[in-house]
Structure 1
Amino acid sequence: MQALSLGVLLVVSLMSGSAAAQGSLMPGNGARRIELGPDEAGVPVAVAVSPGLSTVLLFDSELAQGAVELDTQTGFSIVDVGRMTLRVVPSTKAVPGEKFRVAVRFRDGAAPSGAAFLLTVHPARADSLVEVYRSPRTVESYQQEAREARAETQRCQEENLRLLSEHSTPGGLVGLLAVGGVDVNGVLGQIVSKTISVDPKSALQPFAVQSYRAKDRVALDVVLKDLRGEQSWTASGATLRGPSGIELKVLRVWQDSSIAPGDMGRVVIEAEASVESVRGSFSLKLWEAEGARTVTIGNVRFP
């Protein structure tokens, strides 16, 4: 177990250092609701999909038999058509940024007679459920959407308060104590370089990985090397997915500088997590803003 001062310095650098890349505050997309107008059958609706993750389109009308047209099925490991559903799971052959057009026709022939979707591959995030309404939506559907909107608004307000609090407090250990980042148990750390697993398709290979846990935060300090390709690489986002697909809320992705071919570089990821939520092994996925190169590290454990 690493010295307390090392972990404190790591968290301080996350709080006060300038970020070369910033992770999203939410761990992926949940349910979406789409209403189709009578003249919108040919206008494709953008839907995010990701390799290995399931996306389900749920319709309020029955689909016609054999009425689902997909550009190609070679980029998908699962394409399952039900009476009122379409489930797709992109395969590892799907390249981030790649787009697939899918069209469906409805059984009753009423307007709109069909719908079109543009499935866009993301390195790590997907719309898990897309509810497609062809008929007027029910009151219950609007009420559910209103509840989710209120919850999202409250989350954003709490996040803004946290950010304002961090910017108005001093740096160093005093700042950590002021924002409740540490308690009397301090920061725990461990080296996990020898126990992790690495995806051979990753754009970079890990040279050293250390994990940390504080009061309600975890962090990964990753040193990467052996860049594939001729262009420099900069992380723009990250996911930390644990047992049963549970995803931690990534707060920051910090990188000291872009990683050029032949060089090593350091990336630090911070996520919100309780002690109970970080039990078991996690998978870290990093991606760049422009391009399809990703880094996947598995079997990551926290103290």
Structure 2
Amino acid sequence: MPSCLFVALPVLLWSTHVLAAPPVGNDAVEGTLRMEVGADGLGTRPIHIGPGVSTTLLFDTDIQHDQLSLESRAQFARVSTGSSVLVLVPSNDLQGGDSLKLSIPFKDPGSALPSRLSLTLVVDSGAVDRQVEVYRRARSAESYRQEVQQLRAELERLRQEHVSSGEGAREPMGLRGLLIASKSLPGIGVDGKWMRIKCRRPCSFHVERGSVFTSGPRRAVQLMLRTADTKPWTIGKAVLVDRQGKEWQSFPPFQSGPITAESQATLILEFDVNNAELDGYQLRVTDVDGTRTAQWSGINFP
């Protein structure tokens, strides 16, 4: 983070202690929003504010805080400014969906950088941007690294919520979701020559059609199956094994319905494989009871 943002931290700590409302549960967006000032002086997206909740803007250059222009300023419980800090606390008079204009001039208008920042504030108590870092100069590599870490943490949180809610099988994500939703697969390697692989005997399945897919580290297998058993199959777990014996467990399998001898079902398996090798894999699937297993070898990805 630029050094002048660290200078602003004492003001930030004071303002959040004095001005911030009590914790509001899920009414605040976690993490920091980082915004670059465009050449036209416009923000890259609206800032979400909420009644009784503080939003703090930190700038990487000094602002002319005594000359900022805030629409409907009288409807804010607090507007606190510092050399490079602006804290806004809307009052309860503002209604959800209201849109306000905020204009902030910078102290060195004669530079080649934008002289003023124009922002749109949107009242949305369900998703408040609590802290915003505004970059007028070029951002540092460290700020991008922090943003990537924040995004990764948020994606992992959403993934955990998705898994814990039991929705993984109903709403597959990643390649599984794409294969279910679309016939067009731009940027994905596809190989439909499934008949080259071998199923270890006794084999529980008849593979009527199959394809394999590659996208970066992701590998996916799509099979149209019938059973060779009398008992229907529901896949509980799938494991991909490379030539060295390293195993990767699949994301929750997607299955269009029970696999039986009478009715074909589609099975889609997706793996995150940290291995550049594309050839010589084995695939092992186990039913939900963990009592039956089927295994194929000779799987090569495109």
**Class of the TM-score when normalised by the shorter of the 2 chains:** 0.3 to 0.5
Q: Could you state the TM-score of these two structures normalised by the residue count of structure 1?
A: 0.44
Higher Cα Rg: structure 1 or 2? 2
> More relative contact order in 1 or in 2 (CA 8 Å, sep 6+)?
1
Give me the TM-score of the superposition, normalised by structure 2: 0.44
